[in-house]
Structure 1
C-alpha cells in the first residue's frame, strides 16, 4: 500500500538550514508530519514506491541540484527505478546513525559504510548510554527509510591483515575485527566485509590462507549471527583471495559455513585476470565462481566502472 508523504518523513523543527548553498547533513529525518520545504525522490525500496523525503531550505528538488555533466554520467535515475538493491558507500559524518539518511538522500536501495575510522587501530570505547542512543537511532532510520539489514554491507578497516605473519599485526587485526563484528551485532546488521590479507612475502600462500581462516573462526566463535564476507582481491603483491580457488580454500577451513560468504569486487577480479568485459565472458566467470565456490556464498557485489586494463 502506498503511503502518503505525511507518513513517510519529517524534518525536525530544530533542523539547521542550508550552509554555503548545501543542505546541512546534520539534520535528522523522522516520520509523522509533513512540515517540509522541498521533496527529494528516493528509491522505491525506501518505504514504498514513489515515497518521498524532503530537505530543508531548498527551492529545487534535490535531484535537480545535480550538475548536468554529472547527471548524464551517473546511474542515479536507473538506481531509483530499479528493482535491484544497488547503492553506494556512504559516510558517517555526524554519527553512524546518519548513514541511512545519507544513503536515502543519494537514492540508494542498499549501502556500505565504515563502522569507524578505517585508517587507525585506535578503538574508541563510547559510554554505553551514548552508544545505545546511536545504535537505536541507526535502527530507527533504517526502518523509516526502508533499508533491510541484510542489504547493508559494513567494510572492515583497511589496516586489517587476517593472515599477517607479524604476530603484533595479527593480534591487532583480530581485536579490531572482533570489535567491528560485535558492532554489527549490536546494530542488527547481518554482514561484515573485509580484505583477507597478505603474506607480506614472509610465509607461503597456503599458510597465509590458513591463518585467515583461523582469524575468521576466532571472530565467529565469539559472535553470533553476523556473516563474515571475504572480498575478492586483485592478486597484487602478496595479497591472498585473488582467485576463486584461494577463497574456496579459506571457506573450506571455516567451522561454521553458514556464517561466511564472498563479496565479488568487479575491479579486483578484472585486475586478477577474470575477463568480464562482455556478457559472454561475464557469464563464464560467474559459472566458474559457481563451480568453484558456489553462488550460495555470494553475498554482495562491489560494482566498479573502471575502464583501465
Structure 2
C-alpha cells in the first residue's frame, strides 16, 4: 500500500487537502464554518463538532481522488471513525486518497525571527500509532517571521532532524518551514530558506526522500531547483492567509508545485448550507485549486 501511495503522491495530478486544524486553531475554523464558541462548553464537544465538519467534507462527492491526492489529518481525526472505519482507512479504501498526519505540538515563542516547533515529546508513540492507523506520511509546521539567517538555519535543522526520525519509522515527512506572507522581508527570508533547504537535502542518503510544504514564493519558480532535487518527492504550497483566488493565481506561476490549502479550501463552507449547496461550494473550491495545481502559466 505504501508503494502505491508513494507513486500517487510523486506522480499524481491533483493537490493535498489540509484538514489538520489543531486545538489552538479549531475555534477559528469552527467560527469560519458558522459555529460560534458559545455552541460548545468544553474541548470534547469542540472536537466533536470539528470532526462532524471534517466528516462532511471528506464524505462529500466533491472530495474525490480525481482531483485530491492526499489529506492531512489532526491526531484526533486519525483516531476517530467515518462510516465505521478509521479516518485514514476511509480515505484510502473508500476515496483512494492518501492519508497524512500532523505531528507537531504547536509553535514556541518567537526568537531570532522564527518560531521553532515545541518539543514533540511523544513522537515515537505517535509514529507507532500512525503506522497502526495506516498513515502514509506526516506534517510539521514552524514559522519564519524575519530574514534572520541564524534563526532560519535553526528552523530548517530542527525540521530535518525530526524528519529523519520520521523516515526511520517508515513514514514520509512533510517538512514545513512556513514563511509568514505578511513579513516585510519575505523574499529575503525565502532566499535564505532555499539555501538552507538545499544544504539539508544534499546531506540526505539515498532512500531518505521527503516532501516540503512551503509558502508560495514572492519570486515565481524560486524553488525550482528544490522541485527537481532527487531527494524531494513533491513540494506542496500552503495558502498562508491568501484568499483562494489570490492563492491560486500565485500558485499557477510556480512550476512543479501543487497546493496543500486549508483555509482557502474551506473558507466558503458553512454549517447551515444544504447538502446541495455545501457540495457545490466545496466542488467549486476543489476545482479551482486542482486547476492551479496542474495548469501552470
Q: TM-score, length-normalised on structure 2?
A: 0.49
Structure whose alpha-carbon radius of gyration is higher = 1
Structure with greater helix percent: 2
Q: Which has the higher contact order (CA 8 A, sep 6+)?
A: 2
Task: Tell me the TM-score normalized by structure 1.
Answer: 0.48
